[in-house]
Amino acid sequence: MAELQEVQITEEKPLLPGQTPEVAKEAELAARILLDQGQTHSVETPYGSITFTVYGTPKPKRPAILTYHDVGLNYKSCFQPLFQFVDMQEIIQNFVRVHVDAPGMEEGAPVFPLGYQYPSLDQLADMIPCILQYLNFSTIIGVGVGAGAYVLSRYALTHPDTVEGLVLINIDPNAKGWMDWAAHKLTGLTSSIPEMILGHLFSQEELSGNSELIQKYRNIITHAPNLENIELYWNSYNNRRDLNFERGSDITLKCPVMLVVGDQAPHEDAVVECNSKLDPTQTSFLKMADSGGQPQLTQPGKLTEAFKYFLQGMGYMASSCMTRLSRSRTASLTSAASLDGNRSRSRTLSQSSESGPLPSGPPGHTMEVSC
């Protein structure tokens, strides 16, 4: 009997008429995203149940990317535009992702009963070890926005060995002072909870412009079926304690940190102050032009590129391709560095709104980038 030979037949899939390879690639990525719906879990903690959704599978010797959203949002409304961005797919293929919903913020969450004691932000941070233990994950790279950035920072202070890096968008590490409290109370007399939260998320220019994005998120928050829960999370954020960061002290973030804020964003001054209190050898500061209060929603492309360089600075994705603009910017950086010499340990670099973010600076520099 003649020996059978295995023959592999490859089916060709021609492009549709008028369809470019780029469009076909984007359609394929969109289909892949739709198929990957993630697995949602809930775990009990000393402070109540918490829900999170896992995408992908754990990669050997790589941390999980863990996200935590801001007040008025959940993980989808806060992070989907970023993590579904085409260029982000190169990153998420290399890491498992854990998207945490603060208690009562997940889709379909029941309204908490009257008198329910919502966890403080410190207690929300203390829930994270329960998530990691449930998933058997040892380390994370945290990505947080606003209240979520505070929660991840608090967690990193108490569990530094489990945090390899942090991307903190719109972080305010300070407790509210008496003047802040007075202003908050006066605002509460004339503004609804949704309007106050929108003022926390977006700049006054954005709110006045009433763009399609603002209309969308105003509708999401105003008509949220769990608005009572959102108000509890809002109150916990406004009652946060000071993180007490101090450069050179033991109370600081020990891992690489990328601080991100939009120009004219509500929290621009707070992020600038936070940058001044962190270790300059571990911190990069990215101020994004034309991004408003939520850079992950308005400028996912620039933030994706910055995140990629942040990961490369940590030793991951070293073989990732650089874009043409990135190569030219790197060359410019090299020239600038040779001219600067040792004049300063801190550099401020400016870019046009088209140029996007820059790679992380060499050790010993805090990079302040306006892009």
Q: At residue 90, does pLDDT exceed 90?
A: yes
* CA terminus-to-terminus distance, the chain: 70
Rounded to 5°, the CA angle 108-109-115 comes to 150
Contacts of 160 (CB under 8 A, 6+ apart): 253, 254, 255
Closest of 217, 279, 226 to residue 77, by C-alpha: 217
- pLDDT score of 8: 43
Alpha-carbon separation of residue 220 from 103, 194, 201, 211, 223 (angstroms): 18, 9, 13, 14, 6
Has residue 191 been placed in a domain?
yes
Has residue 23 been placed in a domain?
no
Has residue 169 been placed in a domain?
yes
- pLDDT score of 248: 86
Q: At residue 366, does pLDDT exceed 90?
A: no
Q: pLDDT over 90 for what percent of the chain?
A: 68
Q: What is the pLDDT of residues 294-303, one digit of tens each?
A: 999 999 999 9
Contacts of 133 (CB under 8 A, 6+ apart): none
Has residue 170 been placed in a domain?
yes
Q: At residue 25, does pLDDT exceed 70?
A: no
Stated as kind and residue range, the H or E segment containing 49 is strand 48-55
CA atoms within 13 A on the CB side of 129: 14
pTM over 0.85, yes/no = no
Q: At residue 338, does pLDDT exceed 80?
A: no
Closest of 363, 308, 286 to residue 88, by C-alpha: 308
The answer to whether 66 and 58 have CB atoms below 8 angstroms apart is no
Q: What is the pLDDT of residues 209-243, one digit of tens each?
A: 999 999 999 999 999 999 999 999 999 999 999 99
pLDDT-derived band of residue 6, with 50, 70 and 90 as boundaries? very low
Task: Tell me whether residue 24 is exposed, middle or buried, using C-beta atoms within 10 angstroms of its C-beta: 0 to 12, 13 to 18, 19 or more.
Answer: middle
Q: At residue 316, does pLDDT exceed 60?
A: yes
Q: Which residues span the domain enclosing 127?
A: 34-315
What's the rounded mean pLDDT across residues 66-91? Answer: 96
The answer to whether 275 and 249 have CB atoms below 8 angstroms apart is no
Has residue 276 been placed in a domain?
yes
Q: What is the pLDDT of residues 93-150, one digit of tens each?
A: 999 999 999 999 999 999 999 999 999 999 999 999 999 999 999 999 999 999 999 9
pLDDT-derived band of residue 37, with 50, 70 and 90 as boundaries? confident
Has residue 166 been placed in a domain?
yes
Integer Cα distance of 304 and 91 in angstroms: 9
Q: At residue 65, does pLDDT exceed 90?
A: yes
Q: At residue 245, does pLDDT exceed 70?
A: yes
Integer Cα distance of 319 and 110 in angstroms: 45
pLDDT higher for 76 or 330? 76
As for how many domains the chain has, the answer is 1
- pLDDT score of 9: 38
Q: pLDDT over 70 for what percent of the chain?
A: 72
Q: At residue 270, does pLDDT exceed 80?
A: yes
- What percent of the chain is helix, strand and coil (3-state, nearest 5)? 40, 15, 40
Has residue 370 been placed in a domain?
no
Instruction: Please say whether the dihedral angle defined by the alpha carbons of residues 256, 314, 127 and 71, taken in this order, is positive or negative.
Output: positive
- pLDDT score of 346: 35
Instruction: CATH number of the domain at 233, please.
Output: 3.40.50.1820
Has residue 137 been placed in a domain?
yes
Contacts of 230 (CB under 8 A, 6+ apart): 71, 72, 104, 105, 193, 197, 221, 224
Closest of 165, 50, 171 to residue 119, by C-alpha: 50
